[in-house]
Amino acid sequence: MKSQATAGGSAKLTIGDRSLDLPILKGSTGPDVLDIRKLYAETDAFTYDPGFTSTAACESAITFIDGDKGVLLHRGYPIDQLAQNSNFLEVCYLLLNGELPTASEYERFEHNITYHTMLHEQFDRFFLGFRRDAHPMAIMVGAVGALSAFYHDSTDIQDPEQRTISAHRMIAKMPTIAARAYKYSVGQPFVYPRNDESYAANFLRMCFSVPAEDYVVNPVLERAMDRIFILHADHEQNASTSTVRLAGSSGANPFACIAAGIACLWGPSHGGANEEALKMLKQIGTPEQIPEYVAGVKDRRYRLMGFGHRVYKNYDPRAKVMQQSAEEVLREVGDPNDPLFQVAKELEQIALHDEFFIERKLYPNVDFYSGITLSAMGFPTDMFTVLFALARTVGWIAQWAEMIEDPSQKIGRPRQLYTGQPMRDFTPIEQRG
Ligand code: CMC
């Protein structure tokens, strides 16, 4: 990928008696960026930005977020339009290739994904090595890393064709691995993928069908599943995506990089928040308990899970679509008056009108309603983050591929502000007091 950034003048930086002109780079939209690549060489100083709150770590043309306006675009298309009019595989194609597919391109892509869904038969032994009570995310981290031991013919990252094959393999096999992680935890036989089902329906079948009876995929749940996948497909340079990029910057194979992303996603501040959000709603239990819980949040005893975001300082556009999906799913298979859904809606209203949350610009994020939806669909809580990982795989792999094709790509190597001991002489043990 050739840089698409344009020059936008320069900024003068003065350190003591030295001054330096820092080029300003302009993207197609979003804030300007100060190019500090020569800063250390010319001034002997680093920048300090723990958590990367003001640092662009790469150039990317995949996803754009305007956090103040609550806008999320994939290759320019708003997320709500994609969730309304597209399907997950089409969004995968868009993220990977930059444009929506023509009918024949879509057909070829769908065929490629569908025909890579099976796992090497020997692969199933990995699952058997885990304890039955293993968290399915633990299984995901291990199993996805193990893919690199099975598909050597797509680990040469310098070969564009192998990169494409590994991308297709991961998008195709992730539902099979995720469904096996679930089936293993409930002690049921693994279900093989079916090529005549949609991506979402095939996944639901692999999770919920049993050999003892026929399973008909409910079209409302199929659509909801597909939408949930779309909503989680990519989110620019979040923690797990940056982890994938950092792992990939050393030249590690794509399967290993995605396993690293899954490990990062697991944390409760990131993908693990959907699990925590549902636990929180259950803990609150009834709308009457909300004020007491909110008081605890204000006292900083705990955080309101499913609220707040590093980038969104407005309503997360994914949360709006997710709330609609929750309503559709509950109407179909649950209770639209589900007490947890009522707690969630009321909690949202209280938070949206409370000074503490308004001041800090804390709005519901995608995880606020996803737990209720997934739970009504029949998924246990510990599968929620697995579903996030499944859907985010395409984003990770698109970002990884973009990085590999970027001629300015270097191994990621942050510097530090060292505050430890300066150099000192070793003291023999008998002289230490
Ligand atoms: N509940 C209560 N207070 C909060 C929350 C929350 N969920 N989030 C932030 N704050 C407060 C925080 O205490 C701080 O207040 P003060 O300035 O008085 O100290 C202020 O808001 C800024 O917080 P921060 O921790 O500096 O913000 P951050 O950008 O580092 O954190 C976040 C972003 C997502 C980690 C955080 O909002 C959070 O922990 N949310 C709950 C977990 C969650 O829902 N995560 C899912 C994110 S969306 C899906 C994904 O991308 O994985």
Each residue's pLDDT, cut to its tens digit, for the chain (433 residues) gives 678 999 889 999 999 888 899 999 999 999 999 999 999 999 999 999 999 999 999 999 999 999 999 999 999 999 999 999 999 999 999 999 999 999 999 999 999 999 999 999 999 999 999 999 999 999 999 999 999 999 988 899 999 999 999 999 999 999 999 999 999 999 999 999 999 999 999 999 999 999 999 999 999 999 999 999 999 999 999 999 999 999 999 999 999 999 999 999 999 888 888 888 999 999 999 999 999 999 999 999 999 999 999 889 888 999 999 999 999 999 999 777 888 888 998 999 988 899 999 999 999 898 899 988 999 999 999 999 999 999 999 999 999 999 999 998 999 999 999 999 999 999 999 999 8
pTM: 0.93
Integer angstrom CA distances of residue 228 from 221, 252, 319, 384: 10, 29, 10, 11
Per this entry, what is the length of the chain?
A: 433
> How much distance in Å is there from the Cα of 367 to the middle of ligand 1?
13
Instruction: Verify whether ligand 1 is closer than 6 Å to residue 238 (CB atom).
Output: yes
Indicate the Cα dihedral angle 268, 269, 272, 278, nearest 10°: 80
Backbone angles phi and psi of 119, in degrees to 5: -105, 155
By the 8 A CB rule, do 396 and 262 touch? no
Helix 160-186 and helix 254-265, axial crossing angle in degrees, nearest 10: 40
Residue nearest to atom 39 of ligand 1 (CA): 269
Span from the CA of 363 to the centroid of ligand 1 (angstroms):
10
3-state secondary structure of 28: coil
Q: Where are the alpha helices (DSSP H) in 334-416?
A: 339-353, 355-359, 367-376, 384-404
- DSSP code of 366? T
User: Residue 15, Cβ neighbours under 10 Å: how many?
Assistant: 12
Ligand 1 centroid distance, CA of 230 (Å):
24
Task: Determine whether the shortest distance from the Cβ of 279 to ligand 1 is under 6 A.
Answer: no
Spell out the SS3 assignment of 135-156. CHHHHHHHHHHHHHHCCHHHCC
Check pocket membership of 207 for ligand 1, CB cut-off 6 A. Answer: no
How much distance in Å is there from the Cα of 231 to the middle of ligand 1? Answer: 20
For ligand 1, pick from 52, 53, 269 the residue to mutate: most ligand atoms within 8 Å of CB.
269
Measured by CA distance, the residue closest to atom 17 of ligand 1 is 360
**What's the DSSP call for residue 364?**
B
Please, are residues 365 and 67 in contact by the beta-carbon 8 Å criterion? no
Residue 390 beta carbon below 6 angstroms from any ligand 1 atom = no
Active site residues: 309, 367
Task: Give yes or no for residue 366 CB within 6 A of ligand 1.
Answer: yes
Rounded Cα–Cα distance for residues 73 and 65 (Å)? 6
DSSP 284-307: H-SGGGHHHHHHHHHTTSS--TTB
Which atom of ligand 1 is the closest one to the Cα of 360?
Answer: 21
72 Cβ below 6 A of ligand 1: no
Beta-carbon contacts of 11 under 8 Å, excluding residues fewer than 6 positions away, are: 21, 22, 24, 34
> At CB < 8 A and 24+ separation, what contacts does 122-125 make?
122/150, 123/150, 124/180, 124/190
Residue 29 to residue 26: CA distance in whole angstroms: 8
Instruction: Find where tokens 């709005």 sit.
Output: 363
Close Cβ partners of 418 (under 8 Å, ≥ 6 residues apart): none
The partner residues of 77 in beta bridges, in order of sequence, read 74
Closest CA to 77 of 69, 85, 229: 85
First-residue to last-residue Cα distance in the chain: 59
Q: Which mutation among 79, 243, 303 tests ligand 1's pocket best, with the greatest number of atoms within 8 A of CB? A: 303
Phi, psi of 356 (to 5 degrees): -55, -45
Q: Where are the alpha helices (DSSP H) in 23-102?
A: 39-43, 79-85, 88-97
> Which numbered atom of ligand 1 lies nearest the CA of 310?
29
Beta carbon of 271 within 6 Å of any ligand 1 atom: yes
What pLDDT does 150 receive? 93
Decide if 371 contacts 379 (C-beta within 8 A). no
Residue 418 carries which DSSP code? -
Other residues' Cβ atoms within 10 Å of the Cβ of residue 270:
18
Amino acid identity at 202: N
User: Residue 33: CB within 6 Å of ligand 1?
Assistant: no
Residues 122-172: tens digit of each pLDDT: 999 999 999 999 999 999 999 999 999 999 888 999 999 999 999 999 999
Q: Which two tokens stand for residue 52?
A: 């990367």
Nearest residue (CA) to ligand 1, atom 52: 270
Ligand 1 centroid vs 301 CA: distance in angstroms?
A: 13
Are 215 and 205 in contact by the 8 Å Cβ rule? The answer is yes
Q: Name the residue with the closest Cα to ligand 1, atom 51.
A: 270
Alpha-carbon span 127 to 236, nearest angstrom: 31
Q: Say how far apart CA 165 and CA 143 lie, in whole Å.
A: 18
The number of CA neighbours under 13 Å toward the Cβ of 334 is 22
The two tokens of residue 151 are: 């598909």
Question: Is there an atom of ligand 1 within 6 Å of 303 CB?
Answer: yes
Output the CA 307–ligand 1 centroid distance in Å: 7
Ligand 1 near 95 CB (within 6 A): no
Looking at ligand 1, which residue's alpha carbon is closest to its atom 2? 303
Distance, CA 23 to ligand 1 centroid (Å)? 32
